Amino acid sequence: MYSETLTQHDGWLYYVWECVTTHPTMRPLGRKQTDGCGHWNLRKSKTKITSSSTQSKCTSCGRRKRLNPANLNIRVLLDRDTAKATLNALNEEE
């Protein structure tokens, strides 16, 4: 279903993702890992996000996160207005 949507759409893809800790045991370069703040963020791209191809920064806490659809809550939207409305609705639920 995802690949069919991608072939039919020639514009931007909007990814709404949540800032969470997916692997609490992972210690990047020996530094202490910080917990995710739970804030929902928006990222747009013209390419499909694969397992570890894209990294994004949380607008709330500044934490950098690899956008991996296999272990992260990511919603893919095709319209900018829908993506912003979804983002605002999810952030209001906190």
In this structure, is the dihedral angle defined by the CA atoms of residues 38, 59, 68 and 8, taken in order, positive or negative?
positive
Entry pTM: 0.77
pLDDT at 1 over 80: no
Q: What is the pLDDT of residue 87?
A: 94
Number of compact structural domains in the chain:
1
Structure tokens at 62: 């500044």
pLDDT at 75 over 70: yes
Closest CA to 87 of 50, 55, 60, 64: 60
Q: What is the pLDDT of residue 68?
A: 85
Digit-coded pLDDT (tens) for 33-70: 778 899 999 999 888 887 667 889 999 998 888 888 88
Q: What is the mean pLDDT of the chain?
A: 81
Domain that includes residue 14, residue range: 2-92
